[in-house]
Amino acid sequence: MIHPTAVIEKGAVLAEDITVGPYAVIERMVVLKRGVTVSAFAHLKGDTHIGENTFIGTGALIGEVPQILGCRQAGGKVYIGKNNVIREYVTIHTSSSQDKITSIGDNNYLMGFSHVAHDCNLKNNIIVCNGALIAGHVEVQDRAFISGDVVIHQFVRIGRLAMIGGLSRVNQDIPPFMMVVGDSRVWGLNIVGLRRAKFTSHDIAEIKKTFNILYRSHLPLKSALEKIKGIDSGLVKEVADFITPSKRGICGPQKSSLLEKIFLDYPYFLRTKIPTYRLFLKSRKRPI
């Protein structure tokens, strides 16, 4: 199923049951596994390997030269796993050298116009929403959720099941299970994500203890780490093990500016602390 207007260079390795749309370009070093769909005007280049049943949307560009000053030729690699959805106009760059890899695991969903830079490592079951920008050398662990128009600084690490709210700016590591809103600020836990991942009430309670020690006890990070290491829980250990090797430090609460208080703090407080829908339901049950 290759459209007659598609350009397939000699040397590209294509499985028999792939689909290539009109005016797509697949260059000589690209490898496509079974069930891959390449939509119209997509451009695949460089040393790029794409796993089974992955969908490449219209105009996506994968395997381009890294955006590094002085770098004009692609010398690295892109490895993309299976069952991914890479929507329209997504850009994914090769690694900065042959001994490194820009890698994307399995079952990820990258929405339109999102960007994954050189040497990034995205694990599995990650959602990256429209317009999100992931700079070079970023690591994103399983089931993280990156909302629309988020910008992530290079070398940042995003923990498992972390969630980043829309329009946020992230310049430090986000520990597993945390929710970041605004300017690298941890607001709480990704409760919805934890429940969808079938975490028990006991699991969530243990993670809440960790959150309170890290972000509500006003302890120095070193002291807070020592305290959470005393909690006998595999999930808590995961948080501690993530924070210990951090080079950029971790996101933490900061004092809000006036605009943040108006547009972030107050609406968030209303959504989380005042269950208006419950009050509405109760009022309807009252006799007139």
State both tokens at 234. 């595999």
Active-site residues, by number, are: 118-119, 136
d(CA 162, CA 140): 9
Tokens of 103: 């890698």
Q: Which of 217, 95, 100, 197 is nearest to 145 (CA)?
A: 197
Question: Is 78:63 a contact under the CB 8 Å cutoff?
Answer: yes
Contacts 24+ apart (CB under 8 A), 67-70: 67/93, 67/117, 67/118, 68/96, 68/118, 68/136
Strand partners, 127: 109, 145
Phi-psi label, residue 155: left if phi above 0, alpha if psi -120 to 50, beta otherwise: left
282/41 Cα distance (integer angstroms): 55
Residues forming a β-bridge with 145: 127, 163
